[in-house]
């Protein structure tokens, strides 16, 4: 057949040109597919016609960059076989064909069962799930994320779609559409690497004298446009949808081998993943959320103190694991607490404006005229003391507060000064109670109390990103959702990025990690130049750690290199702000950079407003980080450093930065102590966070004077 088809094409004349050669290539592929079908049918225990039908159903994938590996040996067995391994742009599929008849599928809230007649055959699929689990471990050695490995049962001659645990079941007519529906997730080079690893792990069954040649890996950065299109249009809609979707970020399908292994690692209790900025902690957390959601019943909760970050992470998950994202819940910690209370019918009257007004009144009448006003005249210091130290830890008696180690607060307080703080707190709380109003700390304390009284079994796992920013009451609340269950609570944090006062240790909360703490030290985001510059902001400063271990900066390494950060000093804010549009346009000249790749960050909301005004006057598209949900948008992203936590940008412009915060200045001047020193430390940590958001380029515009903490 092949010879006649090829001859017809070759003798069609030179006018066919490139199209003739393309048709010849397609004919060769069809002949190879037919040969595969004949070999598989001859060697397989499945009926030859069933085998040919399934081969015919998946054959079009060979023309779309997929490698089809039939008749493979089950790893670790001399007898058992795997029908097909399919590797392509949408991942790796372990395919088991079934010619079952009289199949029914029953789904309940607890599980899905498969019956052949009256016999429950659900457990027959367990071995395929186990094989996929073992394959995940093997493929982690090359960095393939576990979510890219799919155990797949194909029912011959049937139209069906069901998920049984981690195994997907699909009818033979729809198998190619199902595989294509996941889109383009791997580059051609990555497909080659996975196919080569699959050949090694799943050797050819039967005659060992006929080994298959391993494919040579190609450039991982190869253009996805090189994937050929099929000669027929039967699957063109699926192909068009796959190729027109925005390309995945590389981290969504491929990780560093150490990261891929960590995603799957099991801990027999609460665990912690820590590391400096850019080491991939959030990436591991997202993949771990998807992995846990696939492998266990219940909902996985991903939460963070930063109220805008969960929406961004949810958007990433919709692309990373669309099949499982409905079983992963994203919520800010305060939003979660408020929703829990509302769902349980517990009265809550969250009134931030009232809270601000009542504190201001109490400060004017009690705080400022008393010893606290003489000790530290800035009301925000004492507001933080109430929010983060007293209410953040859930302290309800002066005796407890009197003996409290105020971790992270530089200004020491005598017993009488603590009495004055308690008087300020009591006055504030009395006025809030009189108005039946709650502040944000109250939401958490009320939710914690409710969970202690009535536990909630909805969640199988909780993953906390930026855990260093949560109060001890927040950690206690989240711990109550899963307790000390295996893989129940995962804390992801970096003490270096703590930007809120009032530290604590996990021992105070009642959580023991007991050796379940992992350190990530390879920086995958920043260039070495950016990382070195950012590390110099805090110098040799010791920073708080939730395990109570004194920790210093450093330890992370970056393999990439690039231009040194550029610091431009301005004499006033007006000239600084006028330069921003010019700087943005100059940044666009860099290879491949778009407006959407640029982030402008400020330490203050005033700096954010000034930057937005300057860019809009220059007709540069802008989106505030408070409105950014993680979906691609061709606009410069502008926001405070706190809103940028957990994000990254190709190019970062830092605006209105006080020159005294940059490397080369003493971390704390002789004149600074107590509250002033603490404020400077927090600002320097914010600056470190801001600088490490930059992947390729960093520009810093400095102005004279000092700044105030961002909101």
pLDDT in tens, 120-140: 888 888 899 999 999 999 999
User: Sorting pLDDT into bands at 50, 70 and 90, what band is 43?
Assistant: very low
Domain chopping of the chain, boundaries:
24-245, 257-346+454-520, 352-437, 557-703
Least confident span in 76-80, 210-214, 509-513, 605-609:
210-214
Alpha helix (H) ranges present in 44-168? 48-58, 126-139
Q: Are 431 and 416 in contact (CB under 8 A)?
A: no
Q: 257-346+454-520, superfamily in CATH?
A: P-loop containing nucleotide triphosphate hydrolases (3.40.50.300)
- Is 386 a residue whose pLDDT tops 90? yes
pLDDT (mean) for 45-61? 71
pLDDT band per the 50, 70, 90 thresholds, residue 50 = low
pLDDT tens, position by position, 448-462:
999 999 999 999 999
* Nearest CA-CA partner of 134 in 201, 194, 214, 204: 201
pLDDT given at position 23: 54
Which two structure tokens, joined as six digits, stand for 555?
Answer: 């330890």
DSSP string, 182-223: T---S-HHHHHHHHHHHHHHSPBPS-TTSPPPPPPP--TT--
User: Is it the case that residue 15 has pLDDT exceeding 70?
Assistant: no
Q: How far apart are CA 84 and CA 46, in angstroms?
A: 12
Residue 441 has pLDDT above 80, yes or no: yes
- Of 195-199, 494-498, 676-680, which range is least confident? 676-680
Higher pLDDT, 499 or 412: 412
- Span 18-24, average pLDDT: 48
Tokens of 79: 């007898």
SS3 for 527?
Answer: coil
C-alpha distances out from residue 389 to 393, 402, 408, 469, Å: 6, 12, 10, 13
Token digits of residue 445: 């304390």
Residue 56: other Cβ atoms inside 10 A = 14
Least confident of 81-90, 206-215, 509-518: 206-215
- Residue 53: is its pLDDT beyond 70? yes
Contact by Cβ (8 Å): 614, 581:
yes
CA atoms within 13 A on the CB side of 406: 25
Which of 16-30, 167-181, 192-206 shows the lowest mean pLDDT across its residues? 16-30
Residue 421: which of 439, 404, 445 has the closest Cα? 404
Mean pLDDT of the chain: 84
| Distance from C-alpha of 661 to C-alpha of 293, rounded to nearest angstrom | 43
Strands (E), 25-166: 67-73, 81-88, 91-98, 103-107, 112-116, 119-120, 149-155, 161-164
Sequence-ordered list of residues with C-beta below 8 angstroms from that of 311, at least 6 positions apart, any chain: 330, 629, 630
- Residues 299, 331: Cα–Cα separation, whole Å: 13
Strands 517-520 and 271-275: parallel
Residue written as token pair 């536990």: 455
Same CATH fold assignment for domains 257-346+454-520 and 557-703: yes
pLDDT at position 94: 96
Chain center to CA of 47:
45
Res. 636: pLDDT tops 60: yes
pLDDT of residue 234: 52
Question: In what order do the strands lie in the sheet containing 67-73?
Answer: 67-73, 81-88, 91-98, 149-155, 167-171, 161-164
Is 446 in a helix, a strand, or coil? Answer: helix
Q: Please give the Cα distance from 579 to 700 (Å, whole number).
A: 12
Query: What does the pLDDT look like over 149-195, one tens digit per residue?
Result: 999 999 888 888 888 889 999 999 889 999 998 888 998 999 999 99
Give me the pLDDT at residue 182, please. 87
Residue 72 exposed, middle or buried by CB count within 10 Å (0-12, 13-18, 19+):
buried
Residue 172: C-alpha distances to residues 148, 169, 440 (Å) = 21, 10, 54
Residues of the chain with pLDDT > 90, as a percent, come to 57
What is the percent of the chain with per-residue pLDDT over 70, rounded to a whole number? 82
Q: Give residue 108's pLDDT.
A: 76
The pLDDT of residue 260 is 95
pLDDT at 24: 52
Buried b (16+ CB within 10 A) or exposed e, 332-354: bbbebbbebbeeeeeebebbeeb
Q: What's 59's DSSP letter? A: G
Average pLDDT over residues 577-603: 91
Can you tell me the distance from the alpha carbon of 193 to that of 362, in angstroms, rounded to the nearest whole number? 66
pLDDT at 56 over 70: yes
- 707 falls in which pLDDT band (50, 70, 90)? very low
pLDDT-derived band of residue 348, with 50, 70 and 90 as boundaries? very high
| pLDDT over 80 at 309, yes or no | yes
What is the β-pairing status of strands 81-88 and 91-98? antiparallel
8 burial via Cβ count (<10 Å: 0-12, 13-18, 19+):
exposed
Instruction: Report the chain's terminal Cα–Cα distance, integer Å.
Output: 72
Name the class of domain 557-703. Answer: alpha beta
Q: Whose CA is closest to 328, among 336, 317, 343, 341?
A: 317
Counting beta carbons within 10 angstroms of the beta carbon of residue 197, is it exposed (0 to 12), middle (13 to 18) or buried (19 or more)? Answer: buried
Task: Measure the CA–CA gap between 297 and 472, rounded to whole angstroms.
Answer: 28
């Amino acid at each position: 057949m092949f010879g006649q088809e090829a001859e017809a094409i070759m003798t069609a004349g030179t006018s066919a040109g490139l199209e003739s050669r393309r048709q010849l290539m397609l004919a060769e592929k069809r002949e190879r597919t037919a040969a595969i079908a004949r070999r598989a049918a001859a060697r397989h225990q499945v009926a030859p016609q069933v085998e040919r039908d399934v081969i015919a159903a998946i054959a079009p994938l060979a023309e779309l960059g997929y490698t089809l590996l039939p008749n493979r040996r089950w790893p670790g067995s001399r007898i058992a076989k795997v029908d097909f391994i399919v590797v392509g742009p949408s991942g790796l599929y372990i395919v088991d064909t079934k010619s079952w008849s009289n199949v029914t599928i029953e789904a309940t809230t607890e599980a899905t069962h498969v019956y052949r007649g009256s016999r429950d055959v659900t457990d027959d699929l367990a071995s395929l799930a186990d094989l996929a689990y073992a394959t995940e471990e093997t493929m982690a050695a090359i960095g393939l994320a576990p979510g890219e490995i799919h155990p797949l049962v194909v029912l011959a001659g049937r139209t069906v779609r069901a998920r049984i645990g981690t195994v997907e079941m699909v009818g033979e007519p729809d198998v190619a559409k199902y595989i294509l529906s996941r889109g383009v997730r791997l580059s051609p080079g990555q497909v080659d690497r996975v196919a080569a690893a699959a050949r090694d792990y799943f050797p050819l069954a039967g005659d060992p004298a006929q080994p298959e040649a391993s494919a040579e890996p190609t450039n991982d950065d190869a253009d996805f446009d090189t994937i050929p299109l099929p000669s027929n249009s039967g699957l063109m809609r699926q192909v068009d949808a796959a190729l027109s979707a925005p390309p995945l970020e590389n981290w969504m399908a491929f990780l560093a081998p150490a990261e891929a292994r960590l995603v799957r690692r099991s801990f027999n209790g609460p665990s912690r993943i820590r590391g400096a900025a850019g080491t991939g902690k959030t990436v591991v957390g997202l993949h771990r959320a998807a992995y846990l959601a696939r492998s266990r019943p219940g909902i996985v909760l991903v939460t963070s103190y930063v109220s805008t970050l969960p929406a961004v992470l949810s958007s990433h998950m919709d692309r990373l694991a669309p099949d499982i994202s409905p079983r992963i819940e994203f919520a800010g910690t305060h939003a979660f607490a408020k929703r829990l209370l509302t769902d349980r019918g517990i009265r809550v009257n969250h009134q931030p404006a009232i809270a601000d007004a009542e504190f201001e009144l109490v400060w004017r009448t009690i705080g400022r005229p008393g010893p606290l006003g003489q000790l530290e005249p800035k009301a925000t210091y004492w507001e933080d003391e109430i929010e983060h130290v007293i209410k953040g830890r859930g302290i309800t008696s002066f005796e407890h507060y009197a003996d409290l180690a105020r971790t992270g607060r530089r200004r020491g307080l005598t017993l009488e000064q603590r009495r004055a703080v308690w008087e300020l707190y009591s006055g504030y709380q009395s006025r809030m109670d009189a108005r039946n109003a709650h502040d944000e700390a109250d939401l958490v304390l009320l939710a914690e109390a409710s969970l202690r009284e009535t536990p909630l079994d909805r969640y199988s796992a909780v993953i906390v990103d930026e855990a260093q920013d949560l109060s001890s009451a927040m950690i206690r609340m989240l711990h109550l959702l899963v307790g000390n269950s295996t893989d129940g609570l995962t804390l992801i944090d970096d003490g270096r990025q703590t930007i809120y006062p009032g530290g604590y240790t996990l021992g105070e909360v009642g959580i023991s990690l007991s050796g379940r703490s992992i350190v990530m030290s390879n920086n995958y985001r920043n260039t070495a130049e950016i990382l070195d510059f950012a590390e110099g902001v805090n110098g040799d400063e010791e920073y708080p750690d939730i395990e109570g271990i004194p920790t210093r900066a450093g330890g992370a390494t970056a393999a990439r290199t690039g231009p040194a950060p550029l610091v431009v000093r301005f004499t006033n804010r007006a000239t600084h702000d006028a330069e921003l549009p010019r700087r943005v346009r100059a940044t666009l000249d860099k290879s491949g950079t778009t407006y959407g790749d640029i982030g402008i960050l400020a330490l203050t909301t005033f700096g954010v407003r000034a930057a937005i005004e300057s860019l809009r006057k220059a007709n540069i598209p802008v989106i505030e980080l408070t409105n950014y949900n993680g979906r691609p948008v061709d606009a410069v992203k502008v926001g405070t450093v706190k809103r940028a936590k957990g994000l990254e940008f190709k190019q970062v412009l830092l605006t209105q930065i006080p020159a005294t915060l940059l490397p080369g200045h003493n971390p704390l001047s002789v004149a600074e102590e107590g509250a002033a020193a603490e404020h400077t430390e927090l600002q320097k940590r914010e600056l470190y966070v801001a600088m490490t958001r930059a992947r390729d380029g960093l520009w810093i515009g400095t102005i004279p004077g000092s700044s105030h903490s961002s909101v």
